[in-house]
Amino acid sequence: MEYRAEKKAKKQAYSELKQIARLQGKKPPPNPYPSAIKEIQAEEKKFVRDRFFNPKILEIVQMMKAEKAAEMQERQREFGNGGGGGGGQRDGWNGGQRQ
């Protein structure tokens, strides 16, 4: 409970600072007690943007998608050609031995 009370007091103090700044017609000060989570997210924002716009990363993503699609096709062929006739799990309790 002490943590919550301390956090609430900090929040209240900052809101009072903002109110005073508004009354004086000034720009409110930056938050002296920023959220740690928001700070971490701000640091990671650059890397998140890179996922969508960096050509090297986009190339890696395309390769991974192609590999995954090939793997799915292989699985479908395996089960489509009677390979899944044994039923149950592929590498189940019998150690992957086919029956």
The string of pLDDT tens digits covering residues 10-21 is 889 999 999 999
Tell me, yes or no, if the pTM score tops 0.75.
no
Per-residue pLDDT at 42: 86
Residue 15 lies in a domain: yes
In three-state form (DSSP H/G/I as H, E/B as E, the rest C), the secondary structure along the chain is CHHHHHHHHHHHHHHHHHHHHHHHCCCCCCCCCCCHHHHHHHHHHHHHHHHHHCHHHHHHHHHHHHHHHHHHHHHHHHHHCCCCCCCCCCCCCCCCCCC
The number of distinct structural domains making up the chain is: 1
The whole domain housing 58 covers 11-77
Using the predicted structure, report yes or no on whether residue 3 has a pLDDT greater than 90: no
Residue 33 lies in a domain: yes
